[in-house]
A and B are shown apart, each in its own frame.
Chain A
Amino acid sequence: QQQVKQSPQSLIVQKGGISIINCAYENTAFDYFPWYQQFPGKGPALLIAIRPDVSEKKEGRFTISFNKSAKQFSLHIMDSQPGDSATYFCAASSSGGSNYKLTFGKGTLLTVNP
């Protein structure tokens, strides 16, 4: 059972446009939601993360929006650049009990055309 559903699978955006990637989760115990960015041939790297006590977190051109009641969160990339072309993974984890694991979405391949 996939606990974090990510969409779309792939996304093509023009330079300067807004890229939006959505994730939905099922486990209400999740309370930490990071996004990872992965360039071809590299390992994923943390991009930005949010906890559910805030509805939005912004770091530069990257913003996470969080909707606790809908159990959804999304990544917005403003003024998208060709250098943003990568695969993006959302993830979730729980701080309760002995859960030491991140559950990842299946990823979104973002292509930003010049």
Chain B
Amino acid sequence: NAGVTQTPKFRILKIGQSMTLQCTQDMNHNYMYWYRQDPGMGLKLIYYSVGAGITDKGEVPNGYNVSRSTTEDFPLRLELAAPSQTSVYFCASSYFVQEGTQYFGPGTRLLVL
């Protein structure tokens, strides 16, 4: 099992550019999440999904979009990159929600200049 994989590991974007952060899990988990981590601010939930075709906003969804067409994949789309989106992005998945361990990917570091 590879667990949760994320690509790319690091990316530099210019203001206004778009990109998609990829996330794939091979554990057949129903629940998937996108977080951003900023220094000293902990983990903020961007979007989450409870199954294929079902997504919902988290705490900081503005500037992002997601889709979930399969159980395995949960890509995060940035349409018009802004410096405020400079962060480390983590994808996670879990089987059960309550008392369910969330398994995190290795992260994508994004720098918007």
Residues of A near any B CB (own CB < 8 A): 6, 9, 31-32, 34, 41-46, 49, 51, 89, 93-95, 99-102, 104-107
B residues 60-113 in Cβ contact with A at 8 Å:
90, 92, 97-99, 101-107
Size of interface on B: residues with Cβ below 8 Å to A: 23
Among B43, B48, B105, the residue within 8 A (CB) of A89 is B43
Contact A9 B105, CB 8 Å, known A32-B98, A100-B50: no
A93 to B102 alpha-carbon distance, docked (Å): 12
User: Do A100 and B106 form a contact, CB below 8 Å, given A44-B43, A106-B40, A106-B41?
Assistant: no
17 contacts between A and B (CB under 8 A): A6-B42, A32-B98, A42-B107, A43-B106, A44-B43, A45-B103, A49-B101, A95-B98, A100-B31, A100-B48, A100-B97, A101-B48, A101-B58, A104-B42, A104-B43, A106-B40, A106-B41
What 5 A-B pairs come out closest when comparing CB atoms? Answer: A43-B104, A95-B98, A106-B42, A104-B43, A46-B101
Give, as a whole number of angstroms, the nearest-CB distance from A48 to chain B. Answer: 11
CB-CB nearest in chain B for A42: B106
Contact B104 A45 (CB under 8 A): yes
Is B27 an interface residue when CB atoms closer than 8 A count as contact? no
Of all chain A residues, which has the CB nearest B45? A101
CB-nearest residue of chain A to B42: A106
SS class, residues of chain A in contact with chain B: loop
Whole-angstrom CA separation of A6 from B107 in the bound complex: 23
**Nearest neighbor of A50 in chain B, beta-carbon distance:** B99
B102 touches A46 (CB 8 A): yes
Q: Is the CB of B48 within 8 A of A44?
A: no
Contact B99 A105 (CB under 8 A): no
Residues in chain B near residue A42, CB distance under 8 A: 106-107
B33 CB to closest chain A CB (Å) equals 8
Complex Cα–Cα for A89 and B102 (A): 13
- Whether B99 contacts A102 by the Cβ 8 Å rule is no
- Chain B residues with CB under 8 Å of A105's CB are 42
Alpha-carbon distance between A105 and B40 when the two chains are bound, in angstroms: 10
Q: Complex Cα distance A106/B40, Å?
A: 6
B101 and chain A: residue at smallest CB distance: A46
